[in-house]
């Protein structure tokens, strides 16, 4: 299937709500359109997802006939005054325009949305919860759309059925409803959760009516979705103390990392963890927790944390984020019904270890 650029943008915005979940300083959403067509005229036939849009990634998109790139980090961020022959970012935007490749960036919306990148890090710690006491995280800075985690509506079915439901519902923005999507490629299933802080939400009522009208048996009566956080960062408390080394090992395994950097504050057991993917220093600095998990922090922020009693786990900026790309690709495929959605193989960390 192929979809117009306008339809793809609308589907992504329905899920990620850039005006709600995006930080005010960020540059997110559709950043590069088309030099040839309007949004309704341009047809998206292939999508490539990446963490950073670099020259090799643009070439990869061209080679794989992907005419939309979803780049987690925005390639246009601050003060681009020309698209000529100057910086490498100017050159990649110029090449995208030359080959009619559109660019969309989710960035902080993907950090804030329930079930997004920060929650994927929390999921790496799921073994420390139980069926009786699962890990329930909260946002460090809750989103106004859902300032307190609460139960919602849960629809689970085959991937195709959930795709059909989401594409039906995305015709309406539902400004009072927060949305979380999860897919399981190995089982061919997916789920979508809807939350609202309003006791009588017109959006939630309409969602139930539309889901029921599909006549898909799985959607006749929604299940109760467990509480889920929406907003910047995540904070979780364990039911009982966890050995420090076990937490570190779980993060390495869950994020598929060969190593992490550790600044140990002296506590051998962990009761509370705060998470912020990417560069978490400013968000985490005033949070009281036994451990911070982030991509990078400044030297002085690490010293302030450890001497304040908080250990720090650094996963590298982009590797704290890149592990989510396969799930992002799957969700994009579900939302757009475009089959040709691939994860970049040319996108990698600029840093490597040297002996």
CATH superfamily of 231-321: NIF3 (NGG1p interacting factor 3)-like (3.40.1390.30)
In angstroms, what CA-CA distances link 2 with 15, 39, 69, 96, 303? 19, 13, 15, 19, 51
What's the pLDDT score for residue 134?
73
pLDDT tens sequence across 29-73: 999 999 899 999 999 999 999 999 999 999 999 999 999 999 999
Query: Does 306 score more than 80 pLDDT?
Result: yes
C-beta separation of 55 from 88 below 8 A: yes
What percent of the chain shows pLDDT beyond 90?
86
111 has binding-site annotation:
yes
- Do 3-106+324-343 and 231-321 come out as alike in CATH topology? yes
Instruction: Tell me the β-bridge partners of 155.
Output: 192
pLDDT tens sequence across 148-186: 888 999 999 999 999 999 999 999 989 999 999 999 989
What's the pLDDT score for residue 46?
98
Mean pLDDT estimate for the chain? 94
Tokens 């590298």 map to which residue? 316
CA distance linking residue 24 with residue 11, whole number of Å: 21
CA distance linking residue 103 with residue 67, whole number of Å: 9
- What would you report as the CA-atom Rg of the chain, rounded to the nearest whole angstrom? 21
Q: Does domain 3-106+324-343 have CATH number 3.40.1390.30?
A: yes
CA distance linking residue 206 with residue 179, whole number of Å: 14
pLDDT tens sequence across 323-343: 999 999 999 999 999 999 999
Provide mean pLDDT across the span 123-143: 85
Provide mean pLDDT across the span 198-210: 90
Number of Cα atoms under 13 Å in the Cβ half of residue 190: 23
Confidence band, pLDDT 50/70/90 cuts, at residue 133: low
What's the pLDDT score for residue 87?
87
pLDDT tens sequence across 260-304: 999 999 999 999 999 999 999 999 999 999 999 999 999 999 999
Number of Cα atoms under 13 Å in the Cβ half of residue 134: 9
What's the pLDDT score for residue 132?
64
CA distance linking residue 57 with residue 50, whole number of Å: 8
CA distance linking residue 107 with residue 118, whole number of Å: 12
Tokens 């250990």 map to which residue? 311
What is the 8-class DSSP label of residue 127?
G
Confidence band, pLDDT 50/70/90 cuts, at residue 147: confident
What's the pLDDT score for residue 131?
64
CA distance linking residue 33 with residue 173, whole number of Å: 21
CA distance linking residue 192 with residue 213, whole number of Å: 17
Provide mean pLDDT across the span 109-118: 97
Provide mean pLDDT across the span 98-122: 97
Q: What architecture does CATH give domain 150-226?
A: 2-Layer Sandwich (3.30)
Q: Where are the domains of the chain?
A: 3-106+324-343, 150-226, 231-321
Which tokens is 278 given? Answer: 């990417």
pLDDT tens sequence across 214-263: 999 999 999 999 999 999 999 999 989 999 999 999 999 999 999 999 99
């Amino acid at each position: 299937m192929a979809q117009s650029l306008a339809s793809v943008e609308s589907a992504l915005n329905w899920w990620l709500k850039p005006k709600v979940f995006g930080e005010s300083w960020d540059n997110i959403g559709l950043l590069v359109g088309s030099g040839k067509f309007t949004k309704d005229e341009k047809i998206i036939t292939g999508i490539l997802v990446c963490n950073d849009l670099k020259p090799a990634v643009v070439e990869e998109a061209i080679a794989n006939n992907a005419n939309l790139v979803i780049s987690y980090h925005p390639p246009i961020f601050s003060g681009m005054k020309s698209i000529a022959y100057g910086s490498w970012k100017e050159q990649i935007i110029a090449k995208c325009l030359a080959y009619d490749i559109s660019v969309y960036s989710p960035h902080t919306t993907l950090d804030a949305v329930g079930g997004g990148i920060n929650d994927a890090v929390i999921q790496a710690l799921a073994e420390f919860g139980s069926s009786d006491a699962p890990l329930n995280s909260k946002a460090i800075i809750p989103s106004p759309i859902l300032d307190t985690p609460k139960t919602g509506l849960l629809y689970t079915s085959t991937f195709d059925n959930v795709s059909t439901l989401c594409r039906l519902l995305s015709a309406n923005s539902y400004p009072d409803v927060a949305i979380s999507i999860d897919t399981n490629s190995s089982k061919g299933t997916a789920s979508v959760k809807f939350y609202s802080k309003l006791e009588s939400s017109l959006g939630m009522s309409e969602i139930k009516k539309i889901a029921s009208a599909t006549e898909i048996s799985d959607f006749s009566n929604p299940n109760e979705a467990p509480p889920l956080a929406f907003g910047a960062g995540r904070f979780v408390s364990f039911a009982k103390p966890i050995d420090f080394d076990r937490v570190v090992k779980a993060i390495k395994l869950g994020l598929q990392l060969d190593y992490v950097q550790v600044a140990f504050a002296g506590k051998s057991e962990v009761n509370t963890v705060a998470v912020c993917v990417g560069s978490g220093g400013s968000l985490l600095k005033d949070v009281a927790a036994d451990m911070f998990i982030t991509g990078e922090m400044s030297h002085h922020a690490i010293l302030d944390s450890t001497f304040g009693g908080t250990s720090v786990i650094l996963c590298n900026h982009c590797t704290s984020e890149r592990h989510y790309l396969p799930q992002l690709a799957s969700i994009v495929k579900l939302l757009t019904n475009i089959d040709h959605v691939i994860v970049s193989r040319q996108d990698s960390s600029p840093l490597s270890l040297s002996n």
